[in-house]
Each structure stands twice: as C-alpha cells, then as structure tokens.
Amino acid sequence: MSERITSPVQLRESRTAHFLFADPRASYLWLVVRLWVGWQWLEAGYGKVTNPVWVGDKAGVAIGGFVQGALEKAGGEHPAVQGWYADFLQGVVLPNATVFSYMVAFGEVAVGLGLILGILTGIAAFFGVLMNTNFLLAGTVSINPILALPGILLVLAWRNAGWFGLDRWVLPMVGTPWQHGSIFDEMDAKK
C-alpha cells in the first residue's frame, strides 16, 4: 500500500511574477499605475460628492436614474443586465438609493485617495474593482473595464504597489491576517 502525501506542495513563483508582485523595484511601475487609477477614481468621486443629486438634498436621484436605466437593459433574449442582478438593483439598491448614492460617491473618493496616497493599496484597489464590477453588471461599460484590469493587478501587487506611498510604513505596523504588525506586538507585550 502506498503512502499518501499529506503535506502541501510548495509551488515556486516565476521570476517575472516575483518581480511584479513582490519586488520593491517594480514599485516605480505600480506608482504610475496607482496614481493614474487613483486619479480616475478621485475625479469621478469628487464630481459626485459636489453634486446634490449624489450627495445633498437630492441624494439618490442620480443613482435612481442609473438603476432605472439598468433595469431597462434587463429584458430581451440576451439582456445586458442579468435577472439576478436586476432583482438586486430593484429590491435592494432602488429602495435605498440615498444610502447607495453616498456609498458610491464617498467610496470613489476613498478608493482614489487610498491609491494616490498608497495606503492600504490592495484593499483600495479591491474596492475599486468591486465598484467596476457592479457598474459592469449594471450594463455600463464606460471606463470600467479599463480601470478594472489595472485594479486587479494592483490587488495582486499589494505587497509592493504602495512602496512609494504610506504602505511602506503602514503595512509593517498593521500587518496582515497571517502576520501581526508591530502595533499588535506592542499590545501583546503590554498584556
């Protein structure tokens, strides 16, 4: 009877993957990508935060119109908006249009600032891609696929994408779920 292998197999990453996603020398590339994507998000968010149909006394009007347009794309033989997503838009987003309006506007600003400042870069990029995905699911192409691809790459490059930013200091302090940062080491020492 043969013995079963129970230990995990260690897979090596390629030199290119290691360079792009772990080597601080690639941070120059990610700085350019991060600043461009961050500026796109900040500019879009600022336009919404300063617009009363997104944030203010008429908040929810713009997103309500957006959702209605998406719901119109949900019919036909090959709908641009899938039925399950149309149900989500109609049952969750539309009744809470004001809340979602604020979430989108301030979320775009937060993603933009996070990427520009290079703080929690991977998390900021993840939420940017999440918003891109929702806009695409709602049948709006626009700049969303153009922002989604570099956003996905920034998520993958979280270790070095913020090297020329605040992540250089924040990540060692905060750490990751699998490795505590210096803040938690100090808290453990005080116990």
Q: Along the 191 residues of the chain, how does pLDDT read in single tens digits?
A: 556 667 777 888 899 999 999 999 999 999 999 999 999 999 999 999 999 999 999 999 999 999 999 999 999 999 999 999 999 999 999 999 999 999 999 999 999 999 999 999 999 999 999 999 999 999 999 999 999 999 999 999 999 999 999 999 999 999 888 888 888 876 767 76
Number of domains in the chain: 1
pLDDT of the residue at 5: 64
Instruction: Give the model's pLDDT for residue 1.
Output: 53
| Residue 94 within a domain | yes
119 domain residue, yes or no: yes
Query: What pLDDT is recorded for position 183?
Result: 87
**Would residue 11 count as lying in a domain?**
no
Question: What domain range includes position 131?
Answer: 40-190
pLDDT for res 2: 58
**Per-residue pLDDT at 10:** 81
Cβ-based neighbour number of residue 84 at 10 Å: 10
- 58 located within any domain: yes
- Domain contains 31: no
pLDDT of residue 53: 97
CA 98 – CA 190 distance, rounded (Å): 44
In this structure, is residue 18 part of a structural domain?
no
The residues with which 63 forms a beta bridge, in sequence order, are: none
Q: What pLDDT is stored for residue 37 in this prediction?
A: 98
CB count within 10 Å of CB 57 equals 7
Please say whether the beta carbons of 139 and 73 come within 8 A: yes
Q: What's the pLDDT at 190?
A: 73
* Domain annotation covers residue 87: yes
Domain for residue 33, yes or no? no
